[in-house]
Amino acid sequence: MSLTADLLLHAYSAGVFPMAEHRDDPEVFWVDPKRRGILPLDGFRISRSLAKRIRNGGFQVTVNRDFAGVVDGCADRAETWINSEIRNRYLDLHLMGNAHSLEVWLHGELAGGTYGVSLGGAFFGESMFSRQRDASKVALAYLTDRLVQAGYVLCDTQFLTPHLASLGGIEITRARYRAMLREALSKDADFARPAVPTPQLLLQRMTQTS
């Protein structure tokens, strides 16, 4: 079965997602973890050092300015599950309005970012990357705030890594995830609607909810 944008959306709505063994492998397989990583939208942890980087790091944050650049940045590593077909289908989803990116810039260069798929009130975080220290953490902080402001109730991270755990990520059972997913799919959210906050406003809101 060929991978299509519609098939991808159906898979996400059922709780599964695609991966490839490596960038040159044309085959795609579906993943349905027994333990699922999520990032609670009211539990993002901002350390003092990260708050300082957000406040004084000189980063500029944009939304959907360079979706392809973010996907390519995420795939630019020794081992990646993003093959050419997966890349192209996410670009299709972006054109359909179902996939979004958040970019972090420094001195006019793409320093980091994250992207994911949007369905109802669920955001399925796919990957993130960093070319400057803390750029991916900055991206996740802005992403979490955006999801709250836009009306999302679920941020799926697929797996829980030490990096995500340090920022407040947790692991839940497949059954619990599917219950949360059903609830989230019944909601309406608009990723592109909120304005990008100033660093000061972002930190103020994060402090109030953490």
Within the chain, residue ranges assigned H as helices are 5-13, 48-56, 67-75, 84-96, 135-150, 162-166, 174-185, 199-209
pLDDT in tens, 128-165: 999 999 999 999 999 999 999 999 999 999 999 999 99
Q: Name residues whose C-beta falls within 8 Å of residue 77's C-beta, 6 or more positions apart in sequence.
A: 129
- Residue 191's pLDDT is 98
Burial class (CB in 10 A: 0-12, 13-18, 19+), 77: exposed
Q: What is the pLDDT of residue 129?
A: 95
Residues 114/143, Cβ–Cβ less than 8 Å: yes
Euclidean distance between CA atoms 69 and 113, whole angstroms:
9
Which single residue is written with the structure tokens 């027994």? 34
Contact 80, 53 (CB under 8 A): no
Residues of the chain with pLDDT under 70: 1, 209-210
- CATH number of the structural domain spanning residue 61: 3.40.630.70
> Roughly how many angstroms between the first and final C-alpha of the chain, as a whole number?
44
pLDDT at 22: 86
pLDDT at 24: 85
**Residue 1 pLDDT:** 54
pLDDT at 119: 98
Considering the entire predicted model, what is its pTM? 0.94
C-alpha–C-alpha distance, residues 198 and 47, integer Å:
18
Domain count, the chain: 1
Owning domain of residue 70: 5-209
Confidence (pLDDT) at 207? 83
Q: Between the CA of residue 10 and those of 3, 15, 68, 98, 101, what are the distances in Å?
A: 11, 9, 22, 12, 20
Beta bridge partner(s), residue 38: 156, 170
Closest residue by Cα to residue 63 from 191, 203, 208: 191
Task: Give the separation between CA 194 and CA 149, rounded to whole angstroms.
Answer: 6
